[in-house]
Structure 1
Amino acid sequence: MGTVSIVLLIIVAVIAVLVIWVIAAYNGFVRLRNMVEEAFSTMDVYLKKRYDLIPNLVETVKGYAAHESGTLEKVVQARNMAASATTIEGKIQGENALQGTLKSLFAIAEAYPDLKANTNFLDLQAQLQRIEDEIANSRKYYNAIVKEFNTKTEVFPSNIVAGIFNFRRKTLFEVNDEREREAVRVAF
């Protein structure tokens, strides 16, 4: 066996290792992309539950606070905008708008003692709180998977495979309203 055949054998071995690495990196991206899609779908299920609950909540409040129709219409519009969004970015914008209008809805409820004592309203409010907790947990999971995917798309050498096969960063589900980031002030 001559030096030419040893060099050729080394070159073939190096190429084989690179091909195996590219296949493994590609499969890792596909696995993470599928996990991102699954995490978003899970969150979307909880969001749908909330979208379905909001009209009942609005109708209950409407019975006690009919003259607050402007706020109630904004809640319904925000719900419809968020529910009809087809992209992750659209969902994020819709969700941020909906969060603000829901706060307005519960502020109305604070002004009506009879409404706050209504068992139907209290039940709907408790259901919404449970769903909000589920949404928060699913957002955390979604963001963790997206962070892992985004990191893999940016670190060397997997960023080379990401560029070749067109794997792009995914959008995190973040709070865009700066008021929501402020610390809550509690006064007694």
Structure 2
Amino acid sequence: MGISIGLMLVAGIVLLGVLLVIWGIGVYNRLVKERELVRNAMGQIAAQIESRWDALKSLIEATRQYAGHEADTFKSVTEARSRVTSQSTVADVEQDNQLFGRAMANINAVAEAYPDLKASSVYQQSMGAVDKYENQVRQSRMVYNDTVTKYNRTIQQVPSNIIAGIFNFSQERYFENSPEKAETPSWNA
């Protein structure tokens, strides 16, 4: 009878160990899935930013017809920028946004100096495309923040925080609202 109680105790401990391993694997897989969703959301931002820069290149070409020197300066800015990818950080995107904002401010200044440029259909269509992609970047950032919220919550909650700590899952940074980002861009103003 002593052997059967000991055997049942060992079986219970083994079963508990197996259940803990299965639970740990499930939590780990959920953390990996949520981290990949965060990376995917950053990839969506990267795609929208790339399209936004492509639209800016169209603006530069329109500007070239009116002010060749300024257009060459804008082109060098677009070539010097770093590429945002799914592996980029929030800081990388913010740095890219600052560069894009400076380029747009310069283009707006040129457009003010050349009213014919501002009135041209190529300029207006390109500005419309920039606005469209700027709005898509904004929406993608909101999706990213929502995805990061879910991921960060999961790695902080008990008991999944144990697995997150063991496998070095760390919190992701949010995009924060700044006065410039709170305003809808008014490139056509």
Give yes or no for TM over 0.5: yes
Contact map agreement 1:153 1:169 (CA 8 A) in 2: yes
Q: Calculate percent identity across the aligned residue pairs.
A: 29
| Structure 2 counterpart of 1:77 | 77
Deviates further, 94-103 or 140-149:
94-103
Q: 1:180 to 1:119 in 2, by over 3 A?
A: same
3-state SS of 1:109 partner: helix
Contact map agreement 2:37 2:147 (CA 8 A) in 1: yes
Q: 1:28 to 1:151 in 2, by over 3 A?
A: same
Q: 1:181 to 1:44 in 2, by over 3 A?
A: closer
The alpha carbon displacement at 1:72 in A equals 7.2
Deviates further, 127-136 or 79-88:
79-88
3-state SS of 1:7 partner: helix
The alpha carbon displacement at 1:119 in A equals 0.6
| Structure 1 counterpart of 2:137 | 135
Contact map agreement 2:74 2:103 (CA 8 A) in 1: yes
| Structure 1 counterpart of 2:187 | none
Give matches, 1:29-68, under 5 Å.
29-65=31-67
Q: Give the whole-Å Cα distance in 2 for the aligned partners of 1:145 and 1:182.
A: 20
Structure 1 position 27 matched with structure 2 position 32: no
Where do 5+ consecutive residues of structure 2 fail to align?
185-189
Q: CA RMSD in A?
A: 2.9
The alpha carbon displacement at 1:100 in A equals 4.1
Give CA deviations for 1:7-32 in whole Å, capped at 9, x if unaligned. 33332232222111101100001111
Q: Match for 1:11: what amino acid?
A: I
Q: Give the whole-Å Cα distance in 2 for the aligned partners of 1:156 and 1:143.
A: 22
Q: 1:79 to 1:140 in 2, by over 3 A?
A: farther
Deviates further, 102-111 or 117-126:
102-111
Contact map agreement 2:112 2:118 (CA 8 A) in 1: yes
Structure 1 position 171 matched with structure 2 position 173: yes
Q: Match for 2:151: what amino acid?
A: F
Where do 5+ consecutive residues of structure 1 fail to align?
none
Q: Give the whole-Å Cα distance in 1 for the aligned partners of 2:181 and 2:127.
A: 23
Q: Give the whole-Å Cα distance in 1 for the aligned partners of 2:82 and 2:118.
A: 27
Q: Give the whole-Å Cα distance in 1 for the aligned partners of 2:158 and 2:64.
A: 56
| Structure 2 counterpart of 1:180 | 180
Pairs aligned (count): 180
Deviates further, 17-26 or 101-110:
101-110
Q: Give the whole-Å Cα distance in 1 for the aligned partners of 2:51 and 2:183.
A: 28
Q: Give the whole-Å Cα distance in 1 for the aligned partners of 2:167 and 2:34.
A: 14
| Structure 2 counterpart of 1:159 | 161
Contact map agreement 1:60 1:120 (CA 8 A) in 2: yes
